[in-house]
Structure formats: structure tokens, C-alpha cells
Structure 1
Amino acid sequence: MHIRQSGSGDAEAVSRLVLLAIGDIAWRLTGGRTEEAVLAGLAEYYRNPGNRFSAERHALLADGDNEVAGTILCYGGGEAEALYAPVAQKLSGAGIHGVVQEREADTDEYYIDALAVFPAYRGRGCAKTLIGHAEAEAARRGYGRIGLNVDVDKDQAYALYARLGFEEDKRIEINGHPFRHMSKMLVLQPTDDS
């Protein structure tokens, strides 16, 4: 398994993974009434730069045949408002008004918006590999903290994040569901010009 940047040919796989990760939030943020419509909406977001689901926000875990096994979708918390705006504009243009995108990320953290692994690849350390990649990217970008949200009903995911050093620091509500916000402090490496 290896980490690679996402590309234009990955829209279908990434859309399925994002739907696995965020579930009913994807329905609300695409305005889709069928799973096919939701996946098409996510693929459209993926193909358009500058929004929270854009290709440039994804890193993919691929197997030896370069088949996508999983994805992690991240951005700086301070970028959230700008990244949410194109989603709101798309919905408004489709006649869907008043959809609230709750503030999920703290401004001082590198935020994991979505993490998913296809069922065939689960239990092989894929999620841990993707999180390790996100932590390295966060440190490279100068963030001292990485954060994520996990549904309070997802005990297995919560246990994984806790094992990886994330700690719950608050509760928030997203799409009418309670979530645990978890974060982890990162050790920043000095740069050559420090």
C-alpha cells in the first residue's frame, strides 16, 4: 500500500468513500434525493477546485495495482469558511437555500474532514496509515495540532483515534447528531532556515 495524491480519474472512488465517511451529511450538502445523485454531487465537488471536497484536499491509499483503498480529506481549520462557500453557492444555485454547514474545525488545527477505507481493505492498518500521512502533512504546513470529529455512536472509530493519541476536547453537533471533537498535539520539526 502506498499514499498518492488524488487525480481526476479518482472521482467515483473518492465520492463513494466520502459518502461512507460522512453519510447523511453528504445528502444534505449535495441536495441529492437518491444515492446516485449524492455520489454525482460529491464527484462534481471533487472535480471543482476550491471547496471542502476538492481533489486537492484528498490523499489516497492505493494498493499494489493502484486501486484506491481509502481516502483522507484534510484542510486547515482557518480555511473552512472559504471552502464551505462554494458548497453553499452550489446549493443556492440549485434552489436549495438555508443549508447550514456547521463549523467543524477549529481555526488553529489541521482538520481531518473525512476518512474512509473500503470494506475489502479494512483491518490492515489503512486508517492508521492515512492518519499518519495527515499528521506529517499538518506538521509540514506548520500546524501544531490536528483534529477530527467522530460520531458519538462510532465507538470503534473513537477507540482507534484514542489509540493514535487523539483526545476528546469537546462535543459539537453536526447535521443534528452529536460528535466528539478530538485533537492531537503534533511535534513540529525545526526547518533549515530556523
Structure 2
Amino acid sequence: MEMTTPFLLPAVWEDALQVIDLISSADENALLYLTGKNSLDEAKEVYRQGFSREDVYYSYRFTLVCFVNGRLAGCILAFPGFLEPDFISEADSSLPDVREAEDDELYIDSLAVYPEFRGQKISRYLIDAVKVQAKKHQLSKLSLLADDAKPYLEKMYRSYGFEVVEEIILDGVRHKKMTYLIKS
């Protein structure tokens, strides 16, 4: 496939269907866990409805979409850590009181790229874009959680300059918290 230059846009609420489908294809267990739903379709519906709101972390306002040749290729959802305590939980179950992001971080909750666009540096393009967002919010780092069951994620993020700072267990799954220091 011949690739033209990818371009980024801030997501709009009308992107909900495509963005949530893409995010769920990358990590459906996270959607199930965070919504407390047993069905992926139910979990995706909770996310789609919330995507148009501003009081949840998976809002369109924290999402960038990347297009290549007019097609959605990938997306990244990243929010300022200082907002995390204010977000309303949509979960049916009670989630452990674990902060994923510190106040001085732009937390990358989700990064997803469709398989046919992988290997074309789309994820790096998205990461570079949120570095700019972090600077706009005067945040000193990016952070994310990499699932230990997917070691290729840690390898990819290390190649982008992220470092492991601690381990966190969520829903019985071990994750590595990784950060990237923003250069002024």
C-alpha cells in the first residue's frame, strides 16, 4: 500500500463509532474492565456514549485521530493527569482506587493503529503529537501502562524513549508504568 503523509486531527464526537472500535480492537479487556460489563458490545456502547461528553477521560476532547489516504489509520487518547480525579466513572463494578496518572503527566490511555497501517511509524507520529500537547498543558512527562502480557508494547515504547518507573497490578494483570520526560 502506498502511503501518503499521515495527518492528525482532533477527534470530534461523530468519530465515536470508529475510534471506540479501533481502541477496543487494541485492548478489549480494558474496555470490559473499565466499564464492568461482561459483553464487549455493551462496553463499547458505554464508551461510545461517553465519547461525546467532557467529564470522562475517554472523551473526544482528549483524542487525536490519524488519517492516511483518507482512512482512519490510528488514534491516541491522552489526558492531563491533574484531571483524573475529576472524571466520572462509568463502571458498573467498583474499581480499585489506583491513580494511573500523576498531576504532572499527560497520560496515554490508549494508542491504537489498524493492522494494515502498522510498521509505517503511525504510533510514533501519534506519540510525537501528544508530546506537543503535554508542553501546551505545561506537563513534564508522558506516561502510560504497558501490559506485561504484551512484551512487544514495552519494547516499542522503550524505542520511543519511555522508561519503566514502576509495576502496577490492575484487575489481576501486571502492567509496567512507563514515562517519557518532556524536554523544555
- When normalised by structure 2's length, the TM-score is 0.90
What residue in structure 2 maps to residue 169 of structure 1? 165
Task: Find the aligned partners of 2:109 and 2:123 in 1 and give their Cα distance.
Answer: 14
Structure 2 CA distance for aligned equivalents of residues 15 and 80 of structure 1 = 20
Q: What is the count of residue pairs matched by the alignment?
A: 179
- Find out whether 1:145 has 2:141 as its counterpart: yes
Tell me the equivalent position of 1:11: 16
Task: Please state if 1:120 is matched with 2:110.
Answer: no
Residue 71 of structure 1 aligns with which residue? 75
Cross-structure match for 2:29 = 24
For 1:80 and 1:172, the matched residues in 2 are separated by 17
Task: Provide closer, same or farther for how the CA distance between residues 148 and 102 of structure 1 changes in structure 2, counting only shifts above 3 A.
Answer: same
Residue of structure 2 in register with 1:102 after alignment: 98
**% identical aligned pairs:** 23
- CA–CA distance in structure 2, aligned partners of residues 23 and 124 of structure 1: 23
What is the SS of the residue equivalent to 2:38?
Answer: coil
Larger mean Cα displacement after TM superposition, 148-157 or 99-108:
99-108
Q: CA deviation at 1:151?
A: 0.6
Q: CA shift at 1:42, angstroms?
A: 1.1
How far, CA to CA, are the matches of 1:162 and 1:99 in structure 2?
29
After TM superposition, give the deviation of residue 37 of structure 1 in Å: 1.4
Q: Give the superposition deviation at 1:97.
A: 4.3
* AA of the residue aligned to 1:150: A
1:50, distance to aligned residue in structure 2 (A):
1.6
Per-residue CA deviations over 1:50-85 (Å, capped at 9, x if unaligned) read 2111110101111221x22111111111111112xx
Q: RMSD between aligned alpha carbons? A: 1.5
- Match of 1:142, SS state, is coil
Question: Any conservation in 2 of the 1:25–1:175 contact (CA below 8 Å)?
Answer: no
Question: 2:50 aligned with 1:50, yes or no?
Answer: no
Structure 2 gap ranges (5+): 1-5
Match of 2:66 in 1: 61
Q: Kindly indicate which of the two structures has a greater share of residues assigned to helix.
A: 1
Query: Deviation digits for residues 63-119 of structure 1, max 9, x if unmatched?
Result: 221x22111111111111112xx22xx44xxxx342336321122211111111111
Alpha-carbon spacing, 1:52–1:102, altered in 2? closer, same or farther (3 Å): same
CA contact (8 A) 1:78 1:106 kept: yes
Range that drifts further, 154-163 or 31-40: 31-40
Which amino acid in the other structure matches residue 22 of structure 2?
Answer: L
